[in-house]
């Protein structure tokens, strides 16, 4: 199967529509901060012949696959191996002063979910890895083997919003005392056994635990907390940014940063807003936009998506 068949970019037309006003000038720079297999980037390169792409990803496999997919645009493409909070350094490396349009498509990529031995999917037995960059860092198996009950409960509660966090942490501690937990199938069996029957009817017991482990392994929320304001700083006046989030923790963080940037800093009681206190950004969508019912039916990975977007109104100075 071709990449077009196995990877359908989420909310593609809406992303193009929102970013288009920022990408019409000659030499415009589009940053795909979460390149993945290059589906969004390919569409932007096709539709905007003047645009130069700077594509970021921490996953070497993603960079290789996207590089092959985008080879026909090679004169307009710079790919950088980095985590997306390194956007400013990536632009310097690419030799460009600013990003006119930026896209973040957060969460685990289709490539990572679909390749069983990456360990992201609880539906497939595989080594408990979950690293987006397999060349460095702690694996999910390391966390399961070394975290104490309190720390394990904390990440399940915080990053998975799991109500049975304590129960699951105790079950894992007990199980690992008998034998090392090194594969996703082992972990799934432990979680199912620890889940009351009534709770199993509300969804797969492993879903939120696997999400929590993935976020902890890749430090996703702490990276995102740095990345959003860092990316906004690279936008010139008229520059735009779109973020696609797939779970509430990410979306709340993005919302907080966008709302803060779009607010006036005029002190209470002043009769007029002074120019230096005017908002630096404006929100381009009301609240968070969802995928249409049609898109959710044809591309199930669009079901949880929440889209937010901003445009810079005035310089940071």
**Annotated binding-site positions:** 38-40, 57, 84, 105, 112
Which residues fall in the annotated binding site for S-adenosyl-L-methionine?
38-40, 57, 84, 105, 112
Block residue for tokens 């990536």: 90
Take residue 79 and report the two structure tokens written for it.
């790919």
Find all residues with CB under 8 Å of 235, minimum gap 6, and list them. Answer: 98, 99, 100, 102, 241, 312
Q: Give the 3-state secondary structure of 201-270.
A: CCCCCCHHHHHHHHHHHHCHHHHHHHHHHHHHHCCCCCCEEEEEECCHHHHHHHHHHHHHHCCCCCCCCC
CB 35 within 8 A of CB 79: yes
Cα separations (Å) of 135 from 19, 61, 111, 121?
33, 11, 16, 20
């Amino acid at each position: 199967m071709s990449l077009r068949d196995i990877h359908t970019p989420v909310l593609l037309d809406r992303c193009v529509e929102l970013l288009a006003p920022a990408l019409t000038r000659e030499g415009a720079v589009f940053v795909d901060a979460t390149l993945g297999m290059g589906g969004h980037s390919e569409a932007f390169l096709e539709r905007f012949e003047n645009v130069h792409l700077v594509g970021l990803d921490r996953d070497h496999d993603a960079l290789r696959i996207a590089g092959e997919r985008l080879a026909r645009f090679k004169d307009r493409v710079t790919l950088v191996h980095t985590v997306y909070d390194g956007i400013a350094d990536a632009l310097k490396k690419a030799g460009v002063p600013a990003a006119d349009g930026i896209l973040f498509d957060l969460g685990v990529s289709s490539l990572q979910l679909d390749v069983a031995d990456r360990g992201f999917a609880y539906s497939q037995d595989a080594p408990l890895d979950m690293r987006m960059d397999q060349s460095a860092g702690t694996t999910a198996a390391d966390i399961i083997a070394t975290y104490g009950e309190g720390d394990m409960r904390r990440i399940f509660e915080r990053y998975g919003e799991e109500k049975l966090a304590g129960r699951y942490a105790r079950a894992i501690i007990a199980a690992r005392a008998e034998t090392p937990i090194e594969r996703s199938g082992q972990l799934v069996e432990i979680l199912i056994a620890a889940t009351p029957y009534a709770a199993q009817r509300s969804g797969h017991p492993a879903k939120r635990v696997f999400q929590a482990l993935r976020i902890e392994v890749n430090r996703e929320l702490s990276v995102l907390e740095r990345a959003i304001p860092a990316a906004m700083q690279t936008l010139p006046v008229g520059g735009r940014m779109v973020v696609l989030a797939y779970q509430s923790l990410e979306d709340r963080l993005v919302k907080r940063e966008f709302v803060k940037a779009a607010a006036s800093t005029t002190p209470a009681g002043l009769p007029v807003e002074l120019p230096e206190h005017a908002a630096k950004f404006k929100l381009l969508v009301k609240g968070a936009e969802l995928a249409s019912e049609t898109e959710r039916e044809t591309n199930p990975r669009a079901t949880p998506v929440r889209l937010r977007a901003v445009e810079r109104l005035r310089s940071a100075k």
